[in-house]
Structure 1
């Protein structure tokens, strides 16, 4: 008997509850969804009222707006249709607001909050439609279309708008206590971006208000408040604001509020390519968390709702609950981006690697405003729990961290200047100060003579100190050599990727081809066919060439891996620099980076080979990183010019065609400070090591201003001091 036929998919009755209860994260998310619906209805405000029947352990929630309301036809054909694409197609409300609800499921969030729902809506013509829904009927019905819902219709003189009345049973009642209401208030405060500027949010959005009313709950004071953003937002230590357009170009303003009489700085950003996530507007504010900074934050005006200055503990708590960088679309936050516990930018991971330079997620409050899904390709998940993890979302994270990086660079510089951060340890200079006793000897000699000792006797005492100083200098040299060795090994660690990249191919050849030798040998013994000898010979030739590649690779790395010699040697400077480039040869070929080295081939310089390797390996590594980072750069070159006179080195210029170095950082000299790095995950040791290696050899490494990329000069110290 044939059972062929055409059938239809019939959703189960509980499918509607799955849309509501299972896809909506929690009670707060449910309220937020219903508030968004009020915004979409062009209402100037929404009132959320919780009224408890404490003796019965029940409550009633009303969410009332003054929007355009819905007609009977709209209720039946759109509101009662799950996952309708009505708002997705319309995109814009009658008053010009961009629709927040786009999935067609937000209204079913009411099922999370109570056991039934009464919808009363009046449209602009005075038509009032009433719908009553008992959510349990969906649970008990086999199919969704088995559930019958009564819809009443009548004329009304009431103002247009919609009121949702939700009845909560004892189970719902027990979910709400003071802590839960505080969280709801927090969610509502963070729902709309704080202090929206006219250039960011249109007037219609600015006229939208949220009021929260709570009454009748035991042990919870009654509340009737207009939701406003936290005042802490205006009391920042550091701030960066601005916009990046879809072509990757942007302008920002950096502000410092930690010191008086500071001037805002304008920053230009060029990503070198399209954002892939539309236009982006940023407002990011950072707060230092040490005790003194918290005290100054309070003094700048951090008060509670009664107008009193808060205590340090309250201020720290407010930072703890307020922190986070929210992502907003048309004025509404996309949860959970911006939640204090949701570090979507992985700021804490970066801070662990470099705590002096990077900020943690608990130090920042701010937001990024994004465009519509069509313009940005930043798509909200159906479950209202963030953005889909596509290429556009990855680029949003990268760009946001780059903007934060501009603030971090300037914060690092300011804290170093005013002594708020740990002082950077320049090993060579500190050793020199530690073992140099010239100032002490002068003071001792003066003191001895003033106390009546003869000059000859005083000189003898000073001679004893000088002899001890000389012996200590040998210890200083040994420490310096040890430090240089460690720094050389740290530089070697930076190029492990070179070993991994170039060593992978020979290793793969050995792993895949060498086992074939035994197979061909076996065939040769079994058949006597000399073709197998040819196959073995071909593999052997491949082994020989790949072994040579390994040998050449380690030969290039050997100077960095070797220990430091006891005395410097006369080295051909051009040859040594070429050797550094050879280490990165494959990486440069893969990324089409050209190199040109000009200078006297026979010019020598008395130096330690490991120090020269450390200087140029770090410069080359940085140039390759930034030339690769900016994929839009077509002319990728590194140019080295060695200038000499009468066979004496004057200076070496090192340039590239990458994005260059911010002039502010060059003027400040902060780029050579340990722990300072403009790389997103940089440790800040590369240029610091290069700078100290130069110092050990009577050289100075400096960054110079350039409009065509990074520009460094390695110069004799006596020349730089002229």
Structure 2
């Protein structure tokens, strides 16, 4: 049988209660679990600061050495008492010190005076009987609440009877002070039940837990016959408490302890008092939320065992002229599998359901554009308020789950993403948001014992993945697309040049007329100055217009290069993957050669190696037309041959993945005059997407036969591409072509392939669309149509 030393309790308290606000949170939560009918009250009764006590101890030694009269030291000690302390405590402390007749007695009185300072946490809940104190409160890790919570969950209750269930809340008091006094009673009790604990007794290195005598006792009569409740009194405080420190905690920590998005009247009542002075816990102004520049709200739902993510995205004021833009996003089960788990993810598919439903909202602010808001104040006040409430917080049944949303916490990796982006950057300080979970709907999202986040479970990974996907992969591209639509529109340079020429002509005509106009001597100087000023203005305007034209041309060139290089980059990645796999297989075959010396096996291994190298050569040959120079060159080529080369290049890959590749060619070959590299890019990007989604289905359905089918048609030249993967949801038919939109899992999520493919199609005068004809069994779309104009046909 294990034996436990007394000091183990101290170690548990230090490890499990990681901060002061966590300690208060545990004590507050216990009060609400006791069904308090008027909230929780926390009173700081500070008659002597800890720092003052330590300073006076040091000063005492100096006073004794210098021969100073103890009366001077005693007067100095009295002056350190907190003048706004409760009057009875202040009188007791003063009397203790005034009764001292030596330095030693003053020091002893100071310690007693310091012990008068307490932190009290009170509730008017059900209270505890003497038996409850012995059998529950003094049992660390008591299972009583855990049993009731599990029973409620098993019965399908919509709420659980308790916020907490681990039975470690009483250790919170240990962090705050070395003495604990519990005064409690049930409505059926006649007297207050009292429990006193001095945690210093547990520090004895030789003491076993059973050696420490802790027993509840009967105290004074209750204030009223039916009164019930509990007061936790913490003494011998471990830290220095000041009004300023408590006020800071009230302003930030206590303000975010319960859901600040709730109406003030509906928030759980927590009252904080400093020496009888009420400190008001602030609430978040709805005016601040209404002035967000963009926002996303949504739910993650489970209906009949099938998950779906629903979001509403709004762009309200992104810093340039645009109407209010709203987009509805729906991510259904097949896409959630692809985006969060992928073909070979470490998260089980079932976690998409067992995570349970939850809701969220996130309000984004461009802090540079924050100004005065009626009802809040001027710009500085507004910016400070936004910073104060910044962060996306996690709440369970209206109470914080730490540390999500704290200043030091970046649980959605927003700051790390922002460092790698230009233009819009979504960092955590720009957001005010919340995620709402519950104990009944999300039983697998459980706090770590030390309250430093949720336990790492598949469900926790799903919650994290969904929120990162919403902010980083839905909201960010949505804002970029609004910018692209209304701010970064292409400029017609020919019109711009014409307009500039007209303006220059009009200005020159005005100058000539101004010069030819007669003027008296007294206005000649003014006329000359006006002409010179106009000439200078015209010169500056012309210079500005020239620079603007040059910059526009540079930007357009950069944009083209981005598309070209991004396309090449994607293909280089594919080739690199093939190269790595070929090298690995080559090494394996060479290892076989090294160990065995059989002619037949040597021949077989060499053939396998030759086959791998041949496959790689084909892949490199396909890549060649994708070079920047190749992508710009218009040439005549056969679509049939292009598809044959593509099939040969992917032969080994299709074989490994068990993919059937079918090409339906017309009777006559189709030859076209176009940029071959771009046509190759379109086909390769479609295949790349298919490989991911077919694998996603293959690993989950053992009887599934992955298939890619390409059909060629002429008049006009058309390529129809389809696969039998999970398909695309109809509501995403247009979104898949937008830059950065992707439903692949994080490591493969780029959102460039189809965007580049459509750009390539349009560059050649063609179109690339997702056919609206859905697969009847799934209601999803699986067919792409790449159509070129009849003018590119070569007869």
Deviates more, 1:115-124 or 1:494-503: 494-503
Could you tell me how far apart the structure 2 residues matched to 1:696 and 1:181 are? Answer: 63
Could you tell me how far apart the structure 2 residues matched to 1:265 and 1:122 are? Answer: 56
Q: Report what 2:169 is aligned to.
A: 106
Please say if 1:19 is aligned against 2:12.
yes
Could you tell me how far apart the structure 2 residues matched to 1:664 and 1:19 are? Answer: 52
Please say if 1:160 is aligned against 2:245.
no
Equivalent residue of 1:191, what SS? coil
Q: Report what 1:644 is aligned to.
A: 714
Could you tell me how far apart the structure 1 residues matched to 2:25 and 2:216 are? Answer: 26
Could you tell me how far apart the structure 1 residues matched to 2:722 and 2:268 are? Answer: 54
Equivalent residue of 2:280, what SS? strand
Q: Report what 2:216 is aligned to.
A: 151
Could you tell me how far apart the structure 1 residues matched to 2:326 and 2:582 are? Answer: 54
Equivalent residue of 2:217, what SS? strand
Please say if 1:287 is aligned against 2:345.
no
Larger Rg belongs to: 2
Could you tell me how far apart the structure 2 residues matched to 1:159 and 1:685 are? Answer: 67
**Structure-2 change in CA distance of 1:628 and 1:67 (3 Å):** farther
Kept in 2, the 8 Å contact 1:636–1:658? The answer is: no
Q: Give 2:381's match in structure 1, choosing from 314, 327, 338.
A: 314
Deviations 1:51-90 (A, max 9, x none): 2214357542111111111111111111101112221111
Runs (5+) with no aligned partner, structure 1: 1-7, 199-204, 217-221, 304-308, 453-475, 521-530
Q: Give 2:626's match in structure 1, choosing from 560, 564, 580.
A: 560
Kept in 1, the 8 Å contact 2:615–2:649? The answer is: no
Q: Give 1:412's match in structure 2, choosing from 465, 480, 492.
A: 480
Could you tell me how far apart the structure 1 residues matched to 2:555 and 2:34 are? Answer: 73
Deviations 1:204-261 (A, max 9, x none): x957311122238xxxxx5432564454445433231334225212544445555999
Q: Report what 1:34 is aligned to.
A: 27
TM-score, length of structure 2 as denominator length: 0.70
Q: Report what 1:615 is aligned to.
A: 682
Please say if 1:212 is aligned against 2:272.
yes
Kept in 1, the 8 Å contact 2:184–2:228? The answer is: yes
Please say if 1:131 is aligned against 2:195.
yes
Equivalent residues in 2 for 1:320-719, closer than 5 Å:
320-356=387-423, 359-372=426-439, 376-404=443-471, 405-419=473-487, 423=488, 433=493, 487-514=563-590, 517=593, 532-533=598-599, 536-561=602-627, 563-564=629-630, 567-577=633-643, 579-580=645-646, 595-600=661-666, 602-625=669-692, 639-645=709-715, 648-649=716-717, 651-655=718-722, 657-660=725-728, 663=731, 666=734, 682-702=749-769, 705=772, 707=774, 708-709=780-781, 712-716=784-788
Q: CA deviation at 1:130?
A: 0.6
Equivalent residue of 2:451, what SS? coil
**Structure-2 change in CA distance of 1:177 and 1:479 (3 Å):** closer
Deviations 1:595-633 (A, max 9, x none): 554453611111122121223333433454455567779
Q: CA deviation at 1:100?
A: 1.8
Could you tell me how far apart the structure 1 residues matched to 2:299 and 2:158 are? Answer: 28
Deviations 1:364-423 (A, max 9, x none): 22222234389542222111111121211111112223333444444334444453xxx2
Could you tell me how far apart the structure 2 residues matched to 1:288 and 1:582 are? Answer: 52
Q: Report what 2:58 is aligned to.
A: none
Q: Report what 1:240 is aligned to.
A: 297
Equivalent residues in 2 for 1:107-122, closer than 5 Å:
107-122=170-185
Could you tell me how far apart the structure 2 residues matched to 1:101 and 1:628 are? Answer: 43
Q: CA deviation at 1:271?
A: 2.7
Q: Report what 1:83 is aligned to.
A: 141
Deviations 1:617-666 (A, max 9, x none): 33433454455567779686555444422xx42x4444555452664883
TM-score, length of structure 1 as denominator length: 0.76
**Structure-2 change in CA distance of 1:190 and 1:626 (3 Å):** farther
Kept in 2, the 8 Å contact 1:660–1:706? The answer is: no
**Structure-2 change in CA distance of 1:361 and 1:583 (3 Å):** farther
Kept in 1, the 8 Å contact 2:563–2:756? The answer is: yes
**Structure-2 change in CA distance of 1:242 and 1:502 (3 Å):** same
Kept in 2, the 8 Å contact 1:193–1:331? The answer is: yes
Q: CA deviation at 1:677?
A: 5.4
Kept in 1, the 8 Å contact 2:638–2:670? The answer is: yes
Deviations 1:646-690 (A, max 9, x none): xx42x4444555452664883xxx765655656657455434433
Instruction: Give RMSD over aligned pairs.
Output: 4.3
**Structure-2 change in CA distance of 1:632 and 1:435 (3 Å):** farther
Q: CA deviation at 1:132?
A: 0.9
Q: CA deviation at 1:585?
A: 5.8
Could you tell me how far apart the structure 1 residues matched to 2:407 and 2:655 are? Answer: 44
| Alignment: residue pair count | 643
**Structure-2 change in CA distance of 1:168 and 1:616 (3 Å):** farther
Deviates more, 1:16-25 or 1:490-499: 490-499
**Structure-2 change in CA distance of 1:676 and 1:211 (3 Å):** same
Kept in 2, the 8 Å contact 1:211–1:227? The answer is: no
Q: Report what 2:92 is aligned to.
A: none
**Structure-2 change in CA distance of 1:637 and 1:299 (3 Å):** farther
Deviations 1:164-205 (A, max 9, x none): 111244x5125x56356423542222222233499xxxxxx9
Kept in 1, the 8 Å contact 2:625–2:631? The answer is: no
Q: CA deviation at 1:125?
A: 0.9
Deviates more, 1:234-243 or 1:119-128: 234-243
